[in-house]
Amino acid sequence: MQAGKYASYLARPLQGTNLSAVLIIHEIYGLNENIRDIARRFAQVGYVALAVDLFSIGRSRALCVLATMRSVYANASKSAHMGALDDAIQFLQADAQVNAQRLGVVGFCMGGGYAVALAVHNQQVKAASVFYVSGGPKPLDAVSTICPLVGSFPEKDFASTGQGQKLEGLLTQYQRPHDIKFYPDTKHSFFNDTIKAYNPPAATDAWQRTLGFFEKHIPG
């Protein structure tokens, strides 16, 4: 389906109104079956879940992937994706099943960087869950105004551990509600159950922490 400018995947509970909603932003592997399954998992516990395909804008997918990676590291807040992500939030707000005041964002790696940036940029986002974040807004202390955030990181990962530590320090400094956890003996993409890095105990704990955090800040 199409949500604003993006090709997207929408999963929803079979019934119910006044529901919370989540926007899901994928990692480098794109909007694949793993991300679609995560959207369905959210729907099974009562959320309307929209997973967007950041790589669906542009004629060449390869060039779109490259531009997307560059922009998240340069400054995700100034990326062209921010406007399109705003459109995706508006799409969810207009959904008949959704309570427009209870919106969250979930992001993985590159998508985590965009999720942090969106949670700073768009005040309609009331809670964020990020996994092994790469990139984000610059300067990072823009998170002084961010919504409540739960973050899940490998303990030692060259791509994201340092970013997670900086993020945790700033959230503490600015007294923003947060729950950051570093998982020992895990690798990047430990939540992705389709690759070797998958770590079931860490993934299960991170999922439960996300659901608990969202239930507190965007209760369904």
In angstroms, the CA 52 to CA 7 distance is 6
- Cβ neighbours of residue 141 closer than 8 Å, sequence gap 6 or more: 170, 174
**CA 207 to the chain's CA centroid:** 13
More confident residue, 192 or 7: 192
CA dihedral 180, 43, 109, 9 (to 10 degrees): -160
Write down the pLDDT at residue 65.
72
Write down the pLDDT at residue 60.
60
Residue (of 174, 123, 124, 129) closest to 153 by Cα position: 129
What does the pLDDT look like over 34-44, one tens digit per residue? 999 999 999 99
In angstroms, the CA 85 to CA 122 distance is 9
The yes-or-no verdict on residue 130 having pLDDT over 70 is yes
pTM above 0.85, yes or no: yes
The predicted model gives 63-85 an average pLDDT of 80
Write down the pLDDT at residue 4.
63
CATH of the domain at 80: 3.40.50.1820
At 117, phi and psi to the nearest 5? -65, -40
The yes-or-no verdict on residue 57 having pLDDT over 90 is no
Write down the pLDDT at residue 61.
66
Domain total of the chain: 1
In angstroms, the CA 212 to CA 82 distance is 27
Write down the pLDDT at residue 124.
97
Structure tokens at 191: 């939540």
Domain range holding 197?
2-217
| Residue carrying the six token digits 């997670």 | 164
**What is the pLDDT of the chain when averaged over all its residues?**
92
Residue 177 burial (CB count, 10 A): 14
